[in-house]
Chains A and B, each alone.
Chain A
């Protein structure tokens, strides 16, 4: 480390940011997003920026290109790129550098590509406009990069429109777009966060190879330490806009100095003793569902025991959310049989009576959109509580406060509106609302996916504890192998509408694996800088 640092002292950094302050405008005043952070990137080096949402990592990454998002401003510090002061530079200078000497890869390529133009046109745009390359040369260069990034049909994929290409491929095209001008710096802003694990690992491998060929520097932003440790030479941890610590990747993983850094991989540490056996509460037999002609669910059968958690694990398009929607009775075109506590449950919501409705409750991924913004937390919980249990006003009120305590929220929050709460608090309100009717089955649809690692851990612990107290059965739908490991008694793995693997958690997640489960489990990056290379070899 010391040698390395010494060597670096002689080389001039490509990016040199000192005491950078970034502010955002909200509720009629400027608040600090990034607070006096220093950042250096040396030629050929990849710097990882890691932190939870709101840590200011994206803002800092964009600031390295002299850019502040709408409603934000860079209000302090210096930003040097190749020795040039970006804060003092005019828009002409910045535009000459951007898309040329420094480029950007956005989190959601699907939104970041212009829907109106073919991919190749967008990929080579800056080379034509700024470098004055001719079309043929630029196109050949881009196609070569498509090949390096292992895009299928590298020759022809450029002639497609963004909506005609899958998410993982788009992300690679976006990477190619950033690499075509052979820039000094590429800013990767969570480039694989929106992808399935098996896709993520392919994209990571291809980015890594392409970066090696190119030799550019990069700032790699992510909330996932495991991903960053594959890509970065050095890692900087941010929290609430301030730097927590910075170290060489290996050192950071082996010996993080700060407690906060250690907590970033907390969700991996939850231990739950998987319980087996118990009488069945919910039985699903031969469930098949269609969306139009598309068979979303193909002959699915499963059992959920009393007081147990069954995880449904699968990637996007596996039918796991459709299964949840079928159980809650909102899918129109469905056949099969669902039995709840020994009694047949009608497949459609409108045929279910109040008691049947009461016993199947749901929690969603986006707590933001699942809560009525015009109702207070109290109203949100009281409504299903009184409707299903018929408790008189005063008793219901007391029960509501109990429920809030149960999800570890202060009962005084009852008078607040959802927008005043944090993401984790909102999800707790959703849990309290689902618990209010005292259901027998609770369907949790990706409830931890939109949350930060630490909050994820809290929510999973909470769900485990509530289950102990109330004996509710959970169906936990997730794409996240680690979350499934942390919460399940039994695991069902789905792919393309079918169940491909099932069993108690320890059987499913230990060798010998089913082939698809093995692919899922092995695609989850581990916090070990050599993992990606090992994955490539295996």
Chain B
């Protein structure tokens, strides 16, 4: 047990170091952008004075590492600075705190990701399991062709097809997913239905195929032959003898897809006009709103690292050699 907690602690530490390095890269990349922030943000008509004041506020006169540590320390305390947008060339400042911009979008994104995951993960596991159980039958083949098809279509096409089908021809769900915090829950869920369905189709195929591959891979192990010669049913073999050994690869795939749900869904957000964090970041990039871009990038990196860390820990926790050392 001590050895196990040591390994887990080691992974945690590695995760923190990775996040730190990522934060440096994110900050450094923004530094490398050409041009003058202050001038660009405030526009051509800004007075010399406003620009100078803005520069001073951004501490552009300070060396880069001082600014990095300032930014990092503030970020650790939950302060990601002020957004650049809302600043006028006149010097009048209507900008908002980055946190206030990102937080509601993030909660929207997490809500959509959570809803999608709640549907797609059990479905993918179940179908992957069924495909192995009925391997080689028409069911397995049909499932395989279907998910292969789903993977092959770009996600916007799936989204538009769903709109056409379920919002236009048979108007069951609204085509627009412009949710707001004051909406009733059932209304929100109904609006989120189509984006969630599109994302489910996109990620489920991948997860299901990997689950199927991981299980099928283990079906060739000698202990599966032992189980067959014990006369166990195929269901019991897959469930009791194969699945417990397959958690590590399955967890990795699920983590990868959940991360995608947080960071990679901008296209679906745009199609359904869903106010998620992907859209916020794209808008921020267009308007050169550096603090928002940095914050989003950091959140994305953090999501990836935390989810992969989780998958690693699951892999370690389900390995009997590590869980029960000699």
Does B223 contact A111, Cβ atoms closer than 8 Å? yes
Which residues of B lie under 8 Å from residue A96 when comparing CB positions?
231
Does B231 contact A112, Cβ atoms closer than 8 Å? no
Q: Complex Cα distance A113/B230, Å?
A: 12
Residues 222 to 246 of chain B near chain A (Cβ within 8 Å): 222-223, 225-233, 236, 240-241, 244-245
Residue of B with least CB distance to A164: B326
Does A113 contact B223, Cβ atoms closer than 8 Å? yes
Interface residue from A67, A95, A115, A164 paired with B233 (Cβ < 8 Å): A95
A161 at interface (Cβ–Cβ under 8 A)? yes
**With A95-B232, A163-B326, A164-B326 known to touch, is A112 a contact of B320 (CB < 8 Å)?**
no
B221 at interface (Cβ–Cβ under 8 A)? yes
**With A94-B231, A126-B232 known to touch, is A106 a contact of B226 (CB < 8 Å)?**
yes
Which residues of B lie under 8 Å from residue A111 when comparing CB positions?
221-223
B321 at interface (Cβ–Cβ under 8 A)? yes
Q: Complex Cα distance A161/B245, Å?
A: 13
A108 at interface (Cβ–Cβ under 8 A)? yes
Residues 104 to 147 of chain A near chain B (Cβ within 8 Å): 104, 106, 108, 111-117, 125-126, 129-130
Which residues of B lie under 8 Å from residue A214 when comparing CB positions?
none
B324 at interface (Cβ–Cβ under 8 A)? yes
B76 at interface (Cβ–Cβ under 8 A)? no
A99 at interface (Cβ–Cβ under 8 A)? yes
Does A116 contact B226, Cβ atoms closer than 8 Å? no
Does A106 contact B231, Cβ atoms closer than 8 Å? no
Q: Complex Cα distance A97/B227, Å?
A: 13
Residue of B with least CB distance to A116: B244
Does B232 contact A104, Cβ atoms closer than 8 Å? no
B217 to chain A, nearest CB (A): 13
Which residues of A lie under 8 Å from residue B226 when comparing CB positions?
104, 106, 112-114
Residue tally, chain B, CB below 8 Å to A: 23
A69 at interface (Cβ–Cβ under 8 A)? yes
Does B222 contact A108, Cβ atoms closer than 8 Å? yes
Which residues of A lie under 8 Å from residue B318 when comparing CB positions?
116
Residue tally, chain A, CB below 8 Å to B: 31
**With A115-B245, A115-B321, A117-B244 known to touch, is A98 a contact of B223 (CB < 8 Å)?**
no
Q: Complex Cα distance A17/B225, Å?
A: 22
B220 at interface (Cβ–Cβ under 8 A)? yes
Q: Complex Cα distance A117/B224, Å?
A: 13
Which residues of A lie under 8 Å from residue B326 when comparing CB positions?
163-164
Does A67 contact B230, Cβ atoms closer than 8 Å? no
Does B230 contact A98, Cβ atoms closer than 8 Å? yes
Does B229 contact A65, Cβ atoms closer than 8 Å? yes
A103 at interface (Cβ–Cβ under 8 A)? yes
Q: Complex Cα distance A117/B230, Å?
A: 15
Which residues of B lie under 8 Å from residue A164 when comparing CB positions?
324, 326
Which residues of A lie under 8 Å from residue B223 when comparing CB positions?
111-115
Which residues of B lie under 8 Å from residue A116 when comparing CB positions?
241, 244-245, 318, 320
Which residues of B lie under 8 Å from residue A70 when comparing CB positions?
220
Does A126 contact B231, Cβ atoms closer than 8 Å? yes
Q: Mark interface residues in A78-105 (1 if CB within 8 Å of B CB, else 0).
A: 0000000000000000111111100110
Residues 4 to 32 of chain A near chain B (Cβ within 8 Å): none
* 3 interchain residue pairs of minimum CB distance: A98-B231, A99-B230, A116-B244
**Pairs A–B under 8 Å by Cβ, sample size 28:** A67-B228, A95-B231, A95-B232, A96-B231, A97-B231, A98-B228, A98-B230, A99-B230, A99-B231, A103-B230, A104-B229, A104-B230, A108-B222, A111-B221, A111-B223, A112-B222, A114-B223, A114-B227, A116-B241, A116-B244, A116-B245, A116-B318, A117-B244, A125-B230, A129-B232, A129-B236, A161-B324, A164-B324
Residues of A in contact with B (beta carbons under 8 Å apart):
62, 65, 67, 69-70, 94-100, 103-104, 106, 108, 111-117, 125-126, 129-130, 160-161, 163-164
